Structure 1
Amino acid sequence: MRQVSPESPGIFDFIMDLYHACDGKWDTLVAECNITSEELASFIEYAAMFLCNLGNFYGEGDQKLVPDVTAKALRKIADISPKTKAGLDKIIDPLLAVPPFSLGYPSKNAQSGYYLSDEPITQDEIAKVSEVMNKKSIGPENTRVRKVIKDGKPVLQLLQASAQTGPLKNGHEELADGMFLVRGDHSEELAKVCSALEKAKEYAGNDKQSQFLTHYIECFRTGSLEAFQESQKVWVTDVSARVENILGFIEPYRDPAGIRSEWEAMIGIADADEIKKLKSFVDSSATFIRQLPWAVNGVNDGKGPFEKSLFEAPDFTSVYALAVCGSIVFEAANLPNYEHIRETCGSKNVVLANRLSVNNNPNLPCYWVDASELNFFKSTTHIVRFLTTAIHELIGHGTGKLLSETSPGAYNFDKQNPPISPLNGEVVTSHYLAGQTWGSVFGRLAGTVEEFRAILMSEYFMDNKDLLGIFGYTENSNITAKDLLYATYLNIGVDGLQALEHYNFQDQAWGQVHHQAHFSILKHLLQDGDGIISIAHDLAQQSLTVHVDQSKIHSHGKPSLGRYLSKLHIWRCTADVSACRKFYEPLCAVDGVYEEWRKIVVSKPNMRWKFVQPNTFVRGKNVEVKAYEESDEGIIQSWVERDI
């Protein structure tokens, strides 16, 4: 939580202490603290939302989460015990303060749990730390940066997550003049994690599980990212695991610099029936890759020069998540995020079936679809979401060859006869130099462009009858393949509009890469799709309605998606960040009519998900799973009984 904001751990403790102070009997606080039932309900709603986001900024969009309760009412509630009173005193100012409005580089409007300082820390200083880290071969994923003043001079501290504290054995604590490595960030929590993982090793299902658990422990104990990479090399080979896990500093979405990763953990139980369908998809994946816009017949087995010679179909599993720890409960993941491991050892796709299933809810509001199509939209959206997620993870994240100088003078492509770019019909002129990676070259663009490419690919393939047939959707099924194709374009419009809710107008920045991608795809189709999608804007009614011209899906929609997809893919493969930025960033800009649309969207905010999760308890030789009431109170109780 301290990766989100400095005050988040204190807010968590305050909520836990309040629960214990009233013994979970929240209603007693009305009389005992002299507050109204409305004030109590508002606080409980805030507490549950905070726990579901594990911080006081929303996991989706990164806007600040502020309770709809006055400081006076909060102080009355906190008076229930000396401990809660003292706890509130520590957090009440940052808890209620606005600005900051969102997460981002520290400024008057934004803050970041990755960049800490009493005095402003600049982007130049952050870049300076990154430069030194690159020279010292220190990975950024499990680090934060803190600026302090010592003897009147600024000192930059690189905080590295580890259970161990103190300097390294070799004593290399000073990285550069005025810059130091400080180990032991999150040390108390990581020590508990290591202890739990040691116990988990006793129940490992095979040697591979025991190995990656050992590497996990080494990473979290010492801070070694090399150990974490070793864990991932073993983890990807533990295929068809009955119990699946994701653990570590995984995704860099919330770091404004796009390199420092958020702690995530997931435990899930495999869904055997759904895995059978996914395996059929995996087995057919090479066939679909040959149908991508850059495929060349007769070259590289029909896949073309911008794909790996051998597509190693990854493990693809569907699980019922038992517990997820993170700022969001994600729908799916394709890991690891290390390209060299993906190319040499493979990757895994994990779909959270019970998370995806909540999209099938006819009571969810949708403001952007015409009333005549609303029932159709609601009955098909969860299917579209599942199918596009499967394509997104397997083909979207699984494809692409980065043309690289793998070592000085050695290349993974014919340097003397470079491949022809499908974008201009000329030989490519750029590639990754020795030591460069996708992330180091594209920087902040890397995360959003990669997600964008995967989302585009999933939508591009939704007209493929063979692919949809694997999952039982044909022209003879109850919901037909044609229905799902039309629903896909409706979803492109709806997702693109809804994404505007997550645009930070004050900082002119996107809070989440997936929302940025959805908006950019809609904007591209509006500009390039020749009327495939249009948005009816009723100024008087303050309404926006998505319209799809079904007659143009094949003739205009798919070619337009293919053009955008090809550009991003080829630029990614050839390290052409300049061309990518020049084309991509204007399509992410929210200006003109899009700003007018944004104002309407934020006036009708989408429902924020709150998930109550079970706990497990060991009773003798048995494990008991305890579910909780689906309510704000149930969410709070589940976290209290997790006893962390």
Structure 2
Amino acid sequence: MTEQFRYTDERFADIQMLRYRLDGFEALTLRQKLYIYYLAKATLCGRDITTDQFGRYNLRIRKVLETIYKRYEGDRTTEEYKALETYLKRVWFSNGIHHHYGCEKFVPAFTEEYFRQVVDCCGCEDENIDELCKVIFDPMVLPKRVNQKAGDDLVQTSACNYYDGVTQQEAERFYDDMRDENDPMPISYGLNSTLRKTADGTLKEDVWHEGGLYGEAIKHITYWLEKASEVAENELQTKIIGMLVDYYRTGDLSMFDAYSIEWLKEHEGRIDFINGFIEVYGDPLGIKASWEGIVTYKDLVATQRTQTISKNAQWFEDHSPVDPRFRKPQVVGVTANVVCSAMLGGDEYPSTAIGINLPNADWIRAQYGSKSITIGNLTHAYNQAAKGNGFLQEFVADEATRAMIEKYGDVCDDLHTDLHECLGHGSGQLLAGVSADALGSYGSTIEEARADLFGLYYIADAKLVELGLVPDAEAYKSQYYTYMMNGLLTQLTRIQPGNEIEEAHMRNRALIARWTLKHYPSAVRLVKYDEKTYVEVSDYEMLREAFAKLLAEIQRIKSEGDFEAAKQLVEHYAIRVEPKLHEELLARYKSLGIAPYKGFLNPKMEIVSDSKGNATDVRLDYTEAYDEQMLRYSNEYGFL
């Protein structure tokens, strides 16, 4: 490990920045390094798209704040200036003015008067500072990026920039009218567009493509993708990139499906990427996708673990505790790898997933399979940052359980992620005529619960010992304990007092843990020692029975499209926060001095050339500071 590399970097607000290392990069061929380099450039070019999708004022606010940061010549040691600097760093981190996880708008710790003063001093170019001040300082204006509160008009009360002048009812009717329940291969209507109401009251889609909305950024994405295709590892990679470029140029979602199918077939190369409008968590209706990018290369040793899982996918499907009607009779095309991230972008940066399973279209998964990745160098960075932070000592009930977690925790965390991504998301099937969007705003939470439960059920199976994926039959208990502890207690430390649980993954964990606590009190309960609340598991085998029963119900809900049952589960178990318990947990967590959220800085990549201008290497630099990286990205990739 070079002297310039360190896993941890700076902290601000509730965030700690980490670095990830590209182990094995030096051993790649020059062609492979250049392929990664060009894909990395394409990954960074969509940054402004994501920021604009997360709120229509975000880019303007970011640009004003960056101008202040670069030009202000006044006293930078005052509390108000420091607060403004922290606010900017949070805007960078969240791609906008709302918390990346909780979705609530940031409360500035500087006054509007001070903001106006520094804006005047720095000659900021925005023509309507009054409008921006209202957005920044008025708590009633755009308070939530994604609002999921039942009974509200979720479109009109969400600040995300996917709809313009449209109500929830109008948006849902617009896309319902497009769908054909008898179409076996439906495109993902609305995935890549802004829906707006025109002056005459009609609804119109502004499609995101090279000749339309976000076109300037997309032109740069396609430029670097085409550069990458020239040094791809094989002909199929070249073909796939060409199909993605065609999709970007037309916005035709049927072309995106065709690209996704070909992308699934490519597994010979070591390098892979995701680039496009993918996940719908940022849309309260679960229709429209945020832009994201990531470049990866296989960890050849660790991938043996995920390939063992994927080779046995049919066994796992056949033995699932769900109704046989909802199982896939034939599992196809399950590909799983452990990878190293080489570049993060858009909705994957700076906060990112540690596991991904794509594509999201159910019919493609059923007919052609899926690709799953577990991002090993990111999980390793998380693990390094957590060493010795006192978290287990504070929140685990007893020393024996702590010792068990320390022995098995890292292995089982990685394995649960593998099972979740490789098999969980790809398991099960919809009944004929059931729309993939039948669960509406509850769909994301139910889907994540389904994948988590699949992993929880199977991590305790003797099959995993047989396959050599866990060291012994006791290992799974560490995952069961930490999962229940997180779902019932510790994930609440990420939520501000008075707020509810909003994010789909957090809701999913709360749903599973709280449902299990209520229905299986002889297996798990909450206890108090010295006025502190802990999880106590008394019967791990019964806990597995609970997960099996809930998995069967969640899969039924998904397969049958039972909206009312999904609503009842989510609303009853996944949302509310008990204030007294929350206050206790926040105080205990604060005493540890741990930042509840982590994000990553990307390595800086530069081509090394000889005297004739020929590329000879790609150099990695891990020393770039957070503000340097963000300002450089705004300068080099600020296309909107």
Question: The TM-score by the shorter chain falls in which range?
Answer: 0.7 to 0.9
1:615 alignment partner in structure 2: 604
Given the superposition, is the C-alpha separation of residues 453 and 487 from structure 1 closer, same or farther in structure 2, using an over 3 Å criterion?
A: closer
1:430 alignment partner in structure 2: none
SS of residue matched to 1:531: coil
The answer as to 2:164 corresponding to 1:116 is: yes
Structure 1 segment 227-238 matched on structure 2, within 5 A: 227-238=255-266
The answer as to 2:362 corresponding to 1:339 is: yes
Residue of structure 2 aligned with 1:587, choices 573, 576, 583? 573
Matched letter for residue 160 of structure 2: S
Distance 2:174 2:343 in 1: 35
Distance 2:518 2:418 in 1: 28
SS of residue matched to 1:618: strand
The number of equivalent residue pairs is: 558
2:482 alignment partner in structure 1: 490
String of CA shifts for 1:11-69, please: whole Å, max 9, x gaps: 333354456x35xxxxxx5xx21242544443333333322322222222322234433
Matched letter for residue 340 of structure 1: W
Offset of 1:197 from its aligned partner?
1.8
The answer as to 2:254 corresponding to 1:226 is: yes
Q: CA RMSD in A?
A: 3.2
Given the superposition, is the C-alpha separation of residues 403 and 126 from structure 1 closer, same or farther in structure 2, using an over 3 Å criterion?
A: closer
The answer as to 2:595 corresponding to 1:570 is: no
Distance 1:398 1:309 in 2: 13
TM-score (norm 2): 0.79
Distance 1:247 1:229 in 2: 14
Q: Is the 8 A contact 1:144 1:159 kept in 2?
A: yes
Offset of 1:512 from its aligned partner?
1.5
1:129 alignment partner in structure 2: 174
The answer as to 2:449 corresponding to 1:462 is: no
The answer as to 2:329 corresponding to 1:309 is: yes
Q: Is the 8 A contact 1:392 1:455 kept in 2?
A: yes
Offset of 1:74 from its aligned partner?
3.5
The answer as to 2:138 corresponding to 1:140 is: no
Matched letter for residue 586 of structure 1: H
Residue of structure 2 aligned with 1:97, choices 119, 123, 138? 138
Matched letter for residue 561 of structure 1: F
Bigger drift between 366-375 and 8-17 goes to 366-375
Residue of structure 2 aligned with 1:215, choices 235, 238, 243? 243
TM-score (norm 1): 0.78
Distance 1:44 1:401 in 2: 49
Given the superposition, is the C-alpha separation of residues 374 and 90 from structure 1 closer, same or farther in structure 2, using an over 3 Å criterion?
A: farther
SS of residue matched to 1:251: coil
Distance 1:237 1:581 in 2: 36
The answer as to 2:594 corresponding to 1:553 is: no
Percent identity, aligned pairs only, is 20
Structure 1 segment 253-264 matched on structure 2, within 5 A: 253-264=281-292
SS of residue matched to 2:596: coil
SS of residue matched to 2:53: coil
Residue of structure 2 aligned with 1:437, choices 435, 438, 442? 435
Given the superposition, is the C-alpha separation of residues 144 and 364 from structure 1 closer, same or farther in structure 2, using an over 3 Å criterion?
A: farther
Q: Is the 8 A contact 1:212 1:234 kept in 2?
A: yes
Distance 1:326 1:501 in 2: 26
The answer as to 2:308 corresponding to 1:280 is: yes
Q: Is the 8 A contact 1:53 1:326 kept in 2?
A: no
Distance 2:466 2:118 in 1: 57
The answer as to 2:225 corresponding to 1:162 is: no
The answer as to 2:9 corresponding to 1:11 is: no
Matched letter for residue 253 of structure 1: Y
Distance 1:576 1:458 in 2: 23
String of CA shifts for 1:174-195, please: whole Å, max 9, x gaps: xxxxxxxxxx221221122122
Bigger drift between 190-199 and 496-505 goes to 496-505
Distance 1:358 1:87 in 2: 42
The unaligned stretches of length 5 or more in structure 2 are 1-50, 148-152, 181-185, 610-614
String of CA shifts for 1:464-489, please: whole Å, max 9, x gaps: 243156455324xxxxx514423422
Given the superposition, is the C-alpha separation of residues 85 and 261 from structure 1 closer, same or farther in structure 2, using an over 3 Å criterion?
A: closer
SS of residue matched to 2:343: strand
Distance 2:544 2:429 in 1: 23
1:370 alignment partner in structure 2: 397
Bigger drift between 40-49 and 353-362 goes to 40-49
Residue of structure 2 aligned with 1:329, choices 352, 357, 360? 352
Distance 1:630 1:501 in 2: 30
SS of residue matched to 2:194: strand
Matched letter for residue 455 of structure 1: D
Matched letter for residue 131 of structure 1: D
Residue of structure 2 aligned with 1:452, choices 435, 449, 453? 449
1:639 alignment partner in structure 2: 633
Residue of structure 2 aligned with 1:358, choices 356, 366, 381? 381
1:44 alignment partner in structure 2: 85
2:34 alignment partner in structure 1: none
String of CA shifts for 1:151-202, please: whole Å, max 9, x gaps: xx645332221121xxxxxxxxxxxxxxxxxxx2212211221222222221
2:18 alignment partner in structure 1: none
Q: Is the 8 A contact 1:243 1:269 kept in 2?
A: yes
Bigger drift between 619-628 and 101-110 goes to 101-110
1:533 alignment partner in structure 2: 524
Q: Is the 8 A contact 1:35 1:77 kept in 2?
A: no
Offset of 1:109 from its aligned partner?
6.5
SS of residue matched to 1:438: coil
Given the superposition, is the C-alpha separation of residues 12 and 628 from structure 1 closer, same or farther in structure 2, using an over 3 Å criterion?
A: farther
The unaligned stretches of length 5 or more in structure 1 are 23-28, 165-183, 296-303, 405-432, 476-480
Matched letter for residue 455 of structure 2: S
The answer as to 2:561 corresponding to 1:516 is: no
Offset of 1:89 from its aligned partner?
6.4
Q: Is the 8 A contact 2:276 2:291 kept in 1?
A: yes
Distance 1:563 1:444 in 2: 24
Q: Is the 8 A contact 2:291 2:346 kept in 1?
A: yes
- Greater RCO between the two (CA within 8 Å, min separation 6)? 2
Distance 1:85 1:443 in 2: 38
Bigger drift between 52-61 and 257-266 goes to 52-61
Distance 1:600 1:558 in 2: 29
Offset of 1:258 from its aligned partner?
1.2
Bigger drift between 130-139 and 388-397 goes to 130-139
The answer as to 2:98 corresponding to 1:57 is: yes
Offset of 1:330 from its aligned partner?
0.7
String of CA shifts for 1:329-356, please: whole Å, max 9, x gaps: 1111110011121122221001111222
Bigger drift between 85-94 and 484-493 goes to 85-94
Q: Is the 8 A contact 1:384 1:484 kept in 2?
A: yes
String of CA shifts for 1:289-325, please: whole Å, max 9, x gaps: 3332137xxxxxxxx4432222125111121111112
Distance 1:305 1:127 in 2: 29
